[in-house]
């Protein structure tokens, strides 16, 4: 996505002469235009008072000089993948000067709109342009590791002219009997227990099987000139989580995810000057019911029921609850209903005795393929030595919550900062009141 997020980023600094040229214009202007066209988060240009460079020539700013070769400094902070893509072009443009780059931590970068998604901001300014693609002839054996590790849950399939012809998601590979577990489980098992992963009985894809054979040709797409609000409506009205962005002639330009739109609600550096001025106009205070949705407390809205288990529940019953949970997780509560932790299939997998992991993985395979949930036979699973067999011992205690008085805006911000898709909502006594997901808050903002 184009927007800069909280977390790790790269800081690029370019030193050049003010009179340096590139294709008939000042080099520093040409570089700033390139950065803007590449949809970088921003760039700052400063002019030095005095200094010297590799040639040891002293540059000073003197009064009445109309032509100067003072040092100009361009400073950019952006996402690593975008700056890395631009480096070759920047190196070509910089004939003499200095470029440095180092990692930084983004603590805050925000221009948050209070009235929802813009009808003016086009998709092309927020889409992710660094997209992994495959061709129709790519073998399934080759694309499988790409899909498992891809930032999106889908791989676009493009022809030689980069026209979008299909898309491949995890469910497409499951339906084709190529994949038998969700991506998160495969990645976790690969990291902690290769033996258990190899012990699974699922058919290996035949060498002749290609992307063309498994791809989904029924694709929902969006135009780069469509608004962010249009994209949000499309995502809330359909089950799609990722939208390919295509040109009028069908060429893939980028991808847009639900999290990109939510990030836009808390970080919008690309808004126009007019929009920014409008959003910062001082307004009289207003009653809560008249306030924009993003300023209202999340507890004021109807919340989905949170799947919960008690902390002392036996492991076998925890798994039973996990099977029927639409969230693929359950929240652990004490006798007062206060949230103590969260349990997902990954939490159970990592805490099982290594000899019993294949048993649990086969059970997950059955659920993934749509089989009827079955209870595990008594004693079928054993936890690792020293670990008990109740919910409290397999839960992740680092559960992230929001209070029912937290605004919708801050709820979205917490989701994006913590990379959580679902957050439990608690009252002042930390008792769970319900859950809210990314689709829920996106729908709230649109309907509001």
Cα-Cα-Cα-Cα dihedral sign, residues 111, 114, 118, 119: negative
Structural domain ending residue among the three candidates 74, 106, 138: 106
Query: Residue 14 has what pLDDT?
Result: 94
Query: Residue 138 has what pLDDT?
Result: 92
Domain carrying residue 225:
123-266
82 pLDDT more than 50: yes
| Average pLDDT estimate for 364-386 | 56
DSSP 3-state of 350 = helix
Domain-located, residue 425:
yes
| Average pLDDT estimate for 403-418 | 90
256 pLDDT more than 60: yes
Is 158 found in the same domain as 39?
no
Is 154 found in the same domain as 84?
no
Query: Residue 74 has what pLDDT?
Result: 94
Domain-located, residue 274:
no
Those residues whose C-beta lies under 8 Å from the C-beta of residue 90, and which sit 6 or more positions away, are 12, 14, 31, 34, 99
Task: Count Cα atoms within 13 angstroms, Cβ side, for 314.
Answer: 9
Among the residue ranges 4-13, 54-63, 406-415, the one predicted with the least confidence is 54-63
309 pLDDT more than 80: yes
Comparing CA positions, the residue from 95, 130, 86 lying closest to residue 20 is: 95
Is 434 found in the same domain as 329?
yes
Q: What is the band of 70 on the pLDDT scale with cuts at 50, 70, 90?
A: confident
Comparing CA positions, the residue from 167, 201, 195, 168 lying closest to residue 183 is: 168
Is 0.85 surpassed by the pTM of this model?
A: no
Domain-located, residue 284:
no
**pLDDT tens string 27-38:** 999 999 888 877
Is 262 found in the same domain as 131?
yes
Alpha-carbon distance of 157 to 139, in angstroms, equals 12
Comparing CA positions, the residue from 251, 233, 290 lying closest to residue 114 is: 290
280 pLDDT more than 50: no
Is 258 found in the same domain as 127?
yes
Domain-located, residue 2:
no
Is 133 found in the same domain as 94?
no
What 231-236 contacts at long range (C-beta under 8 Å, 24+ apart), as own/partner pairs, is 231/123, 231/256, 231/261, 232/117, 232/261, 232/442, 232/445, 232/446, 233/446, 235/261, 235/439, 235/442, 236/439, 236/442, 236/443, 236/446
274 pLDDT more than 50: no
112 pLDDT more than 50: no
Is 188 found in the same domain as 147?
yes
Comparing CA positions, the residue from 354, 356, 273 lying closest to residue 319 is: 356
Query: Residue 270 has what pLDDT?
Result: 35
Domain-located, residue 33:
yes
Is 440 found in the same domain as 326?
yes
Is 432 found in the same domain as 345?
yes
Structural domain ending residue among the three candidates 79, 106, 133: 106
Among the residue ranges 37-51, 227-241, 250-264, 354-368, the one predicted with the least confidence is 354-368
Is 147 found in the same domain as 65?
no
Comparing CA positions, the residue from 59, 62, 63, 75 lying closest to residue 17 is: 59
Please tell me the total count of domains within the chain: 3
The alpha-carbon radius of gyration of the chain (Å, integer) is: 26
User: Which CATH number does the domain housing residue 368 bear?
Assistant: 3.10.580.10
Query: Residue 66 has what pLDDT?
Result: 45
User: Which CATH number does the domain housing residue 52 bear?
Assistant: 3.30.70.120
Domain-located, residue 290:
no
Whether 366 and 374 have beta carbons less than 8 Å apart is answered as yes
Alpha-carbon distance of 402 to 432, in angstroms, equals 10
């Amino acid at each position: 996505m184009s927007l800069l997020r909280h977390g790790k980023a790269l800081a690029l600094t370019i030193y050049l002469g003010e009179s340096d040229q590139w294709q008939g214009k000042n080099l520093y202007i040409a570089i700033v235009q390139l950065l803007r066209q590449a949809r970088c988060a921003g760039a700052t240009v400063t002019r030095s008072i005095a200094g010297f460079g590799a040639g040891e020539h002293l540059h000073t700013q003197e009064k009445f000089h109309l032509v100067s070769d003072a040092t100009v400094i361009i400073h950019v902070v952006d996402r690593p993948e975008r700056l890395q893509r631009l480096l070759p072009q920047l190196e070509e443009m910089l004939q003499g000067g200095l470029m440095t780059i180092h990692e930084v931590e983004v603590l805050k970068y925000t221009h948050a709109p209070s009235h929802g998604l813009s009808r003016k901001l086009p998709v092309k300014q927020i889409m992710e342009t660094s997209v992994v693609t495959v061709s129709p002839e790519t073998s399934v054996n080759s694309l499988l590791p790409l899909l498992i590790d891809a930032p999106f849950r889908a791989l676009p399939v493009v022809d030689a002219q980069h026209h979008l012809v299909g898309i491949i998601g995890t469910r497409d590979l499951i339906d084709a009997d190529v994949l038998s577990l969700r991506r998160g489980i495969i990645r976790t098992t690969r990291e902690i227990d290769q033996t258990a992963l190899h012990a699974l009985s699922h058919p290996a894809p035949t060498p002749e099987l290609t992307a063309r054979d498994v791809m989904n040709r029924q694709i929902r797409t969006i135009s780069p000139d469509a608004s962010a609000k249009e994209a949000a409506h499309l995502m809330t009205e359909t089950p799609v989580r990722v939208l390919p962005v295509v040109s009028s002639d069908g060429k893939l330009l980028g991808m847009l995810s639900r999290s990109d739109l939510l990030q836009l609600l808390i970080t919008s550096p690309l808004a126009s000057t007019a929009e920014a001025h409008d959003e910062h106009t001082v307004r009289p205070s207003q009653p809560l019911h008249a306030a924009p949705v993003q300023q209202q407390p999340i507890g004021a809205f109807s919340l989905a029921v949170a799947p919960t288990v008690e902390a002392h529940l036996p492991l076998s019953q925890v798994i039973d609850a996990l099977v029927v949970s639409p969230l693929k997780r359950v929240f652990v509560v004490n006798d007062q209903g206060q949230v103590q932790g969260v349990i997902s299939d990954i939490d159970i997998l990592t805490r099982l005795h290594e000899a019993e992991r294949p048993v649990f993985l086969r059970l997950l395979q059955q659920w993934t393929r749509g089989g009827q949930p079955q209870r595990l036979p008594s004693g079928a699973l054993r936890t690792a030595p020293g670990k008990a067999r109740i919910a409290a011992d397999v839960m992740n205690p680092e559960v992230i919550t929001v209070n029912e008085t937290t605004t919708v805006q801050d709820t979205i911000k917490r989701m994006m900062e913590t990379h959580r898709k679902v957050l439990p909502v608690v009252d002042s006594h930390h008792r769970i009141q319900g859950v809210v997901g990314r689709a829920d808050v996106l729908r709230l903002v649109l309907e509001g």
